[in-house]
Structure 1
């Protein structure tokens, strides 16, 4: 069985403008505790959202389902996909693998991920996130997890050149609470968290949020629990024919944000780059071809 091209969350977000007030109230209630919110009885979902049972029935039909059981069935499939380990993900793809070469299949999957991700990204939210990251009056904390620490390090390396006043925190380290001592209201936490979401990352986000920090989250299509605390969430499609999820779409957003922040601070970034090049020359860190 293949993973769904569009999640229920995608469908809800695409239909929000077409829903009635009660249906929109229900949709937002589902998204608040997604995907677990729709796993119980129809009456329980209606009660939690403070809407009528017919409202639930109408909305799931507007989302393209024959009825609530059909809606729940897909939700359970999403939940199973969300918690798959690498072996299970590999077996799923192997069973459905077509005869074409993996290079083509993998590339097609990445292109689909990029296309679907960009269709869901709100440009105004992306710009707002870039402006928060570029604001040098705010201390910038960058956090990655067991796998996503490589993305966090890449982002941090570039931000080091573009701006001062920042810290790289690894959520898997038992020293990360020390960094929170320096966090204050209005500071910015950029957090990377994808499926098999990490408890340390959620706890760190909760504590940063309690201190009044702004949170920008890079996550997957199912969205990390940190989503409920984030000021801005950037959800990336990650499914490819592999035992591992893809970071290609996330890297695209990271590199785009690096470019955006660089442009917002270009005068200072240029000066810092020139100073850095002088330091490289002095240390003879790189070979020069003349």
Structure 2
């Protein structure tokens, strides 16, 4: 992936294996409170990471920046992108809109989002997440926000057929506290949180983590603050020529997860599917043409 298309967090993650011990220590310190960690003076970042100022300067250059001010300028641009509202996003695209029909421009953006997202996902991490989701010994909770509740419900609807002990939680503060009453060590929470990140969802994640739950976060390329308490984090590219962000890449990830979990639990999933089809037949939910 070209560096110009990567966030600083993605650049750091791509280079972790090539860093020295001190640089790796600095990298983890930056990522722990990203992007705010890099917005202060160079000396403060070095002190917080317990490394030298020259280590910070070398690291910044390894990431493709001439100096620390250039590094900070890019961080500020990322921070502005994280909090853009739909009107600001539309104006950004309108200013530099390329020629061609919106169908082509939008499709090209989605394809790029998919390509760049998949390049950042480690198959082993994906498999580990699916194994957690498929483990029927672990109660599973799926959480979405104001917009992402639709895709959270889509995941819930399919997994409800594949496995038992699953709950769909709305992140509104008058609904989710009840679901945390019985949350415990080993429970799995799949949480969706995209820009503009929601305070209710962050508080839910923090409280679930405090109870010992395992958290799988599905977020965007800038990463929700929830990443600091998540065990597994999937960052999806969401930018398209629109006032709204795109969920196409996120939906691809979710549908792939559904297929993987179904395969892991196929014996039980098939039995549940057959039972559900029998219920559909009895209730005449679907029309029969034979």
In structure 1, what is the Cα distance between the partners aligned to 2:173 and 2:250? 23
1:57 maps to which residue? 57
Could you tell me which residue of structure 1 aligns to residue 189 of structure 2? 189
Instruction: Report the secondary structure of 2:169's partner residue.
Output: strand
Aligned to 1:104: 104
Structure 1 runs not aligned, ≥5 long: none
- Secondary structure at 2:268 match in 1: helix
C-alpha distance after superposition, 1:186-238 (max 9, x if no partner): 01001000011111001101111011011011000111111011111111011
* Alignment match, 2:38: 38
| 3-state secondary structure, aligned to 2:5 | coil
Residues 1:142 and 2:142 are matched in the alignment:
yes
Partner of 1:152: 152
Give the match for residue 273 of structure 1.
273
1:1-290 alignment, distance < 5 Å: 5-290=5-290
Alignment size in residue pairs: 287
Partners of 1:285 and 1:187 lie apart in 2 by 33
TM-score w.r.t. structure 1 length? 0.98
Give, in whole Å, the separation in 2 of the partners of 1:25 and 1:232: 20
> Using the alignment, how far apart are the partners of 1:145 and 1:243 within structure 2?
18
C-alpha distance in structure 2 between counterparts of 1:173 and 1:256, whole Å: 30
Separation in structure 1 between the aligned mates of residue 283 and residue 237 of structure 2, nearest angstrom: 41
Counterpart CA distance in 1 for 2:98 and 2:185 is 52
Deviations 1:3-54 (A, max 9, x none): x621001110111111111111111110011011111111111111111111
The 1-side partners of 2:231 and 2:98 are apart by: 41
CA distance in 1: counterparts of 2:273 and 2:192, whole angstroms: 26
Q: Distance in 2 between matches of 1:70 and 1:220?
A: 23
Instruction: Return the alpha-carbon distance in structure 2 between the equivalents of residues 147 and 278 of structure 1.
Output: 33
Q: Give structure 1 regions of 4+ aligned residues with deviation exceeding 4 angstroms.
A: none
Q: Hey, what's the Cα distance between the residues in 1 that align with 2:155 and 2:90?
A: 29
For residues 57 and 224 of structure 2, the distance between their equivalents in structure 1, rounded to whole angstroms, comes to 28
Q: CA deviation at 1:173?
A: 4.6
Per-residue deviation, residues 165-203 of structure 1 (Å, max 9, x unmatched)? 111100015021111112111010010000111110011
- With normalisation by structure 2, the TM-score equals 0.98
Q: CA separation in 1, counterparts of 2:206 and 2:69?
A: 34
Question: How far 1:286 moved relative to its partner?
Answer: 0.5
| Equivalent-residue separation in structure 2 for 1:98 and 1:237 (angstroms) | 20
Unaligned runs of at least 5 residues, structure 2: none
